[in-house]
Structure 1
Amino acid sequence: MTFETLGNKENPAVLLIHGMLCTAKDCRGFGKYLADDYYVIMPTLDGHGNDGTDLLSAEGEASKILDYLRENGIDRLALIQGSSMGAEVALALYELLNAKGIPVHRCFFDGGPFFDFKPAFRRFMYVRFRNLVKIFDTDDHEEAYSKVMESGIIKFVAKDKAAEFEPMIRSITAERRSFSDSTIRNMVKICYNCKLPHFTEGEQRKMIFFHSNEEPAVKCRKRLVKAYPVAVYRGISGYAHCGLQIKKPKGYAELLKKAIKEGL
């Protein structure tokens, strides 16, 4: 795991966790609009960079982020934000920080697929993602971009709004990358075998679950509401999965600021 930061370390800290197949640089687009007021911390999760690591679990990633916070003298967070699979990592981190007595003012989970599907479905998704990540293992970045944009997974997730993903897909295909079999299996497990930890009502009130009303991941909301009845749930129409942060990064950053200050 590696880390990037923006802003003044003396300011309140916010942590932005990217989604599946992305890296910390995919948080810069909206993170830069937070950097005037906050110290912005952006990890690249294991198995997603070129540091030779494998992604093992959401809990393992949370533990490494905790180590980084301690090593850098950060003893509280104004915000944990997680996108897509990063939302599951953010949830695991929130649980861990609560257990360690480290205050978190607000959590913002964007597009998290908080599902717990049967093994047969997870095996199916493993094959789909195994085939998808092969596209990244090339130096022909334009070909990789075209293949990803035409992939069945992008068409399923984005439906008729795949064009919104162009900046993100260009970013993640801008360099040759490989994903280990272990990383692929554990990405699928994090997304589709997600256990929802217990949180008190006070802890739930700090949690904001945000989805596009048209995205497939919104279907996990019933499960979330049952587990966290007093958390905050917000939706937006007209965007694909995590589309607001991609299409309108400044507006998305303002939404995060509002979440920190007012809780939406």
Structure 2
Amino acid sequence: MKIITYGNKNNKSIFFIHGLASTADLCFKLLLPYLQDYFVIFCELDGHYGSKPKDLTSMEETIDSIENYILNEMGGSLYGLCGFSMGATIAVELIGRGNISISKVLLDAAITAELGLMAMPFTYAFIVGTSRIKNKKPIPKFLLDKIMGKDNLSIIEMMYPQISKNTIKNACNFIYHYKVPENLTKFSSPVMFWRGSEEPIPAKSEKILREYLPQMKIEVFEGMGHGQFLHEHPKEYAEKLKIFLENK
């Protein structure tokens, strides 16, 4: 794991966790010009940075490392926690553990719905899809539309080409079989859930999370697929994020 920080440490902190087969920069760097009043922390997960990344082998150990950073380097407290896709699943696990203090949480397209028998074909589709993108081959449009949202090219543009098959397998095994911790009901700070209207799995995740987080507010972006609002509208994304962070 690698941590990159921007801005003054005395400002309110926002900790960002990126999605699977992407990077902190590809997901969030376009937000930086609009977040200069914050201490911004990018978490780069194993298997997702450098020209020859080491595989992400254990999501549990990865989450332990993030938690330890927050406990040891941030005094156990963050102002904002923002996760996209797999990063949002990690955020759910962090707040469910109850070991760190967080004032505001943004979950962008969290994946917290157990896929059961569909986990294997989804994992296979992810591996094949990333391999085809890496080799500059087209992905069947019906498949991309079904999983990522209609006409969503953002997810291709946000992909980290050095991702390995092992990293994808290990991450998918965690997120596609994820079970929300019962302790999540104890988290009482404000939570915002964002998703596009064309995202089937996050829509299921939203319903599950509402049972644990009654205070969670939801915004659905019409016509948007996975990562599309984040990638195509960074200024609006950052402005909405700031409104959420600063509203009492």
State the TM-score, normalizing by the size of structure 1. Answer: 0.81
Structure 1 segment 43-122 matched on structure 2, within 5 A: 43-50=43-50, 51-57=53-59, 59-96=60-97, 98-99=98-99, 102-118=100-116, 120-122=117-119
What stretches of structure 1 of length at least 5 have no aligned partner?
138-143
Counterpart secondary structure, 1:15? strand
Task: Find the partner of 2:124 among 116, 123, 127.
Answer: 127
Task: Find the partner of 1:222 among 186, 207, 215.
Answer: 207
Counterpart secondary structure, 1:46? coil
Counterpart residue identity of residue 123, structure 2: Y
Residue 147 of structure 1: aligned partner: 137
Change (3 A) 1:132 1:228: same
Structure 1 segment 10-49 matched on structure 2, within 5 A: 10-26=10-26, 27-34=28-35, 36-49=36-49
Counterpart residue identity of residue 209, structure 1: F
Counterpart residue identity of residue 191, structure 1: I
Counterpart residue identity of residue 85, structure 1: M
- Give the CA deviation at 1:79: 0.7
Structure 1 segment 220-259 matched on structure 2, within 5 A: 220-259=205-244
Change (3 A) 1:227 1:19: same
The answer to whether the Cα contact below 8 Å between 1:148 and 1:154 also exists between their aligned partners in 2 is: no
How many angstroms apart in 1 are the aligned matches of 2:42 and 2:138? 24
How many angstroms apart in 1 are the aligned matches of 2:108 and 2:11? 24
The answer to whether the Cα contact below 8 Å between 1:130 and 1:184 also exists between their aligned partners in 2 is: yes
Counterpart secondary structure, 1:184? helix
Deviations 1:80-129 (A, max 9, x none): 10001111011112233x32xx32101100011211121x2112222222
Choose 65-74 or 77-86, whichever is displaced more: 65-74
The answer to whether the Cα contact below 8 Å between 2:144 and 2:150 also exists between their aligned partners in 1 is: no
Structure 1 segment 163-202 matched on structure 2, within 5 A: 163-165=153-155, 167-169=157-159, 172-173=160-161, 177-181=162-166, 183-199=167-183
Aligned-residue CA RMSD in angstroms? 2.4
How many angstroms apart in 2 are the aligned matches of 1:18 and 1:189? 17
How many angstroms apart in 2 are the aligned matches of 1:187 and 1:114? 13
How many angstroms apart in 1 are the aligned matches of 2:178 and 2:243? 28
The answer to whether the Cα contact below 8 Å between 1:213 and 1:235 also exists between their aligned partners in 2 is: yes
Counterpart secondary structure, 1:78? strand
Report how many aligned residue pairs link the two structures.
Answer: 244
Change (3 A) 1:195 1:105: same
The answer to whether the Cα contact below 8 Å between 2:79 and 2:102 also exists between their aligned partners in 1 is: yes
Q: Percent same amino acid at aligned positions?
A: 25
Counterpart secondary structure, 2:102? coil
How many angstroms apart in 2 are the aligned matches of 1:10 and 1:149? 45
Counterpart secondary structure, 1:104? strand
How many angstroms apart in 2 are the aligned matches of 1:227 and 1:215? 21
- Give the CA deviation at 1:225: 2.0
What stretches of structure 2 of length at least 5 have no aligned partner?
none
State the TM-score, normalizing by the size of structure 2. Answer: 0.86
- Give the CA deviation at 1:149: 5.5
Change (3 A) 1:166 1:178: closer
How many angstroms apart in 2 are the aligned matches of 1:253 and 1:2? 23
The answer to whether the Cα contact below 8 Å between 1:3 and 1:24 also exists between their aligned partners in 2 is: no
Higher fraction of strand: 2
How many angstroms apart in 2 are the aligned matches of 1:152 and 1:179? 24
The answer to whether the Cα contact below 8 Å between 1:88 and 1:190 also exists between their aligned partners in 2 is: no
